[in-house]
Amino acid sequence: MSDGNKKRVAILGGGFAGLAAARALQNSEKKHTVTLINRHPDIHCRFLLPDLAAGAVDAKHLLHPIERLGNRFGFDFIHAEVTKVLFEKKQLRLADGREIAYDYLIFAPGSETNFHGNNNIMAHAYRLDNAVDAIAAMKALASGRYGTVVVCGGGYTGIEVATHVRRVMNERERPVDTIIVEARDTILASLPNWMKIYTLDNLSRMGIRVKTGATVESVDEARIVLNDTTVYDDACLIWTAGMKAPSLLDTQDAPRGPQGRTLVERDLRFGPDRFAVGDTACIRRGSSCSRMAVQAAADQGKHAAHNVLRLIDGEPTTSFKLSDWGLIVPMANWRSCGSAFGFPVRGAFATSLHYLLSAYRFYGINNAAGILDYARSSYRRQIRSKRKL
């Protein structure tokens, strides 16, 4: 039972949304019992996973222990997998059988790669959900087994991955054919035309081929077959063709939107005592959901925490206002493009913004210094390079 007005708040997920919520709850004057559960001991810097997968950046800059953040911000951390959410009993069940009771739940398990039900691809492709996945891809690329890398998905993650792989392998003087395969008739489908043109031009400079209107038909240890019968031998597949919400609520009576994301009200609730935030939450934007992005996740986590505190104090909740800082399509040769606060940005300036924001948004001063140092040396190598890359 909770002690008087001291409530138990459980946060499922220690990513950008969950940690922002934990921090905001413990920054308040009234201290409640905040328990955060995450399946990894560290928070992973997801926005630099493409750099990690290619072997460009050291993994140590992209991890920060959640236990340390718990000691700093004053929340309890449980390193465990949540296997079930029991809304009726207000409990979370952990993989080891423990049950964690809560008065309020902040549901923040993020997102995971969507293989669209294709088990063959799921078994053989590399994915980039977290640093563990990125390190697996990095080891495969470093093994020298592959002459071709196929990146499936022409969104900004796929483009980012392909450019890093191409650049790193060229620098190691072990160039690999790099191909982006996209099912639609264009890359970056939801972005403005000028970004598509700029990106296509840059990919072509880097010698990266783009195949639109194509999909992966089958894959095994080293052979990839496309639906147009193209076959790539000695090839490795990196799958970046979509994200979805984790399946944790699949058997629950919870409102769901596109990509299986939990539909939330304007105050981020999806039930009287529960909030969904970050990638897993769907804030309606016309017929689709809000974009999955770090800043949005952190803002939502913070807002849900404020609303939890308001509910505890018997006050009405407030509506969340989505603010979009913009987005960048990061490309490893420092010719990125995107928009920031409504203004178009491109080239080295756009790339610098990406790394500066990555350092700013992640946790740990040493990590920020490591990320900035990595970016500086990447830029130096780029301008020294005689190649067109």
Ligand X SMILES: Cc1cc2nc3c(=O)[nH]c(=O)nc-3n(C[C@H](O)[C@H](O)[C@H](O)COP(=O)(O)OP(=O)(O)OC[C@H]3O[C@@H](n4cnc5c(N)ncnc54)[C@H](O)[C@@H]3O)c2cc1C
Q: Tell me whether residue 50 or residue 55 sits nearer to ligand X (CB atom).
A: 50
Structure tokens at 213: 């209107």
Report the alpha-carbon distance of residue 200 to residue 161 in Å, rounded: 15
Q: Tell me whether residue 216 or residue 298 sits nearer to ligand X (CB atom).
A: 298
Q: CB of 81: closest distance to ligand X in angstroms?
A: 5
Classify residue 190 by its DSSP letter. Answer: T
Q: CB of 4: closest distance to ligand X in angstroms?
A: 29
Q: Tell me whether residue 250 or residue 313 sits nearer to ligand X (CB atom).
A: 250
Q: Amino acid identity, residue 341? A: F
| Residue found under tokens 């946790």 | 363
When binding is defined by CB under 6 A, the residue of 34, 128, 312, 375 that contacts ligand X is: 128
Q: Amino acid identity, residue 73? A: F
State yes or no: residue 151 binds ligand X (CB under 6 A). Answer: no
Report the alpha-carbon distance of residue 14 to residue 18 in Å, rounded: 5
Judge whether 376 and 382 are in contact, CB under 8 Å: no
Judge whether 127 and 266 are in contact, CB under 8 Å: no
Among the residue ranges 114-122, 227-235, 250-258, 272-280, the one whose residues contact ligand X (CB under 6 A): 272-280
State yes or no: residue 38 binds ligand X (CB under 6 A). Answer: yes
Judge whether 133 and 127 are in contact, CB under 8 Å: yes
Q: CB of 108: closest distance to ligand X in angstroms?
A: 5
Among the residue ranges 26-34, 162-170, 288-296, 381-389, the one whose residues contact ligand X (CB under 6 A): 288-296
Q: CB of 227: closest distance to ligand X in angstroms?
A: 25
State yes or no: residue 50 binds ligand X (CB under 6 A). Answer: yes
Could you tell me which of 143, 37, 48, 9 has the C-alpha nearest to residue 360?
Answer: 48
Q: CB of 29: closest distance to ligand X in angstroms?
A: 25
When binding is defined by CB under 6 A, the residue of 10, 15, 103, 320 that contacts ligand X is: 15
Classify residue 128 by its DSSP letter. Answer: -
Q: How many CB atoms lie within 10 A of CB 329?
A: 26
Contact flags string 17-36 toward ligand X, x per CB under 6 A:
xx------------------
State yes or no: residue 109 binds ligand X (CB under 6 A). Answer: yes
Q: CB of 104: closest distance to ligand X in angstroms?
A: 17
4 dihedral zone (left: phi>0; alpha: psi -120 to 50; beta): left
Report the alpha-carbon distance of residue 85 to residue 92 in Å, rounded: 5
Among the residue ranges 22-30, 195-203, 229-237, 275-283, the one whose residues contact ligand X (CB under 6 A): 275-283
Report the alpha-carbon distance of residue 16 to residue 363 in Å, rounded: 10
When binding is defined by CB under 6 A, the residue of 110, 155, 257, 370 that contacts ligand X is: 110
Task: Report the Cα 117 to chain-centroid distance in Å.
Answer: 20
**322-351: contacts with ligand X (CB under 6 A):** none
End-to-end CA distance of the chain: 61
Q: Tell me whether residue 40 or residue 381 sits nearer to ligand X (CB atom).
A: 40
Q: CB of 89: closest distance to ligand X in angstroms?
A: 17
- Chain contacts with ligand X (rule: CB under 6 A): 13-18, 37-40, 46-47, 49-50, 81-82, 108-110, 128, 157, 246, 248, 278-280, 292-295, 297
